[in-house]
Amino acid sequence: MTGKMPIIITGGAQRLGLACAQALAAQDYDVLVTYRTSRDSIADLESQGIRCIQADFSTLAGVDAFIAKIQQDYQALRGIIHNASEWESEEHCEDTALLMEKMWQVHVFAPYRINLAFEALLCAKSQQGEMTDIIHMTDYVVEKGSDKHIAYASSKAGLANLTHSFAKRFAPNIKVNAIAPSLLMFHDDDDAEYRQKALHKSLLSREPGEQEGVLAVQYILDSHYMTGRTLSLDGGRHLV
């Protein structure tokens, strides 16, 4: 596996991560995705030439094992999209301390550790005259907080702050930006009442689909003059 320069998408086996992986592969990017739990989509991704690596970012050992694997197999990287995420709330939670630790482990520590570990691999690509990218997938709740997902919201805010710090550290060779989605797509088990309520939270009142996130990723990858910024995909929710 030497000599390749992939874009890594963490949590790339479902929803937005999956859509991004398939779109970038179709554009002839060399794509590598991580997944925690095996899914039917893994075989489809591999059939498209996308490398899939099982990785658990909820533990230090899992993060370090993934880092070691990439450093062993590659000499350079085109980019990293930090999409892996946990979505848990304080409701019915028996151990809120453990919940907070888990949210920060996945959303802050893992990207922090991975970005630092792969700095040389990202710079190796940029030294060939091409910019490289880190993209953090944050969340709309960073702006307003969440009374039902306090640990989650705080950790996504931490990830948003990493965007500014790493943009400063890695300039001018590596661009570091964030994408903050609100509603992009519903889950299959979301009922009609919930869907209607969620749609009315934004000015545009629509479910744009995962392609809205894909377009944001492509814009950042194509840009040569944006770093330390966040693209908000919220349908004008901040004005409601």
Look at residues 149, 23, 144 and name the one whose alpha carbon lies nearest to residue 81.
23
| Token output for 6 | 């992939």
pLDDT of 201 reads: 87
Confidence of residue 126 (pLDDT cuts 50, 70, 90): low
Residue 226 CB neighbours (<10 A):
15
Q: How far apart are CA 28 and CA 80, in angstroms?
A: 16
| Token output for 78 | 């085109």
pLDDT of 2 reads: 40
pLDDT of 128 reads: 67
Contact 67, 55 (CB under 8 A): no
Q: How far apart are CA 83 and CA 99, in angstroms?
A: 19
CATH number, domain 7-239: 3.40.50.720
Whole-prediction pTM value?
0.94
Q: Which residues contact 39 (CB under 8 A, 6 or more apart)?
A: 13, 14
Please say if 29 is a catalytic residue.
no
Phi-psi map region of 86: left, alpha, beta (phi>0 left; psi -120 to 50 alpha): beta
Q: How far apart are CA 26 and CA 21, in angstroms?
A: 9
Look at residues 155, 153, 240 and name the one whose alpha carbon lies nearest to residue 198.
240
pLDDT above 70: residue 170:
yes
Q: Any idea where the domains of the chain sit in the sequence? A: 7-239
Instruction: Given the residues 152, 194, 219, 225, select the one marked as catalytic.
Output: 152
Q: Which residue is listed with tokens 């991560």?
A: 17
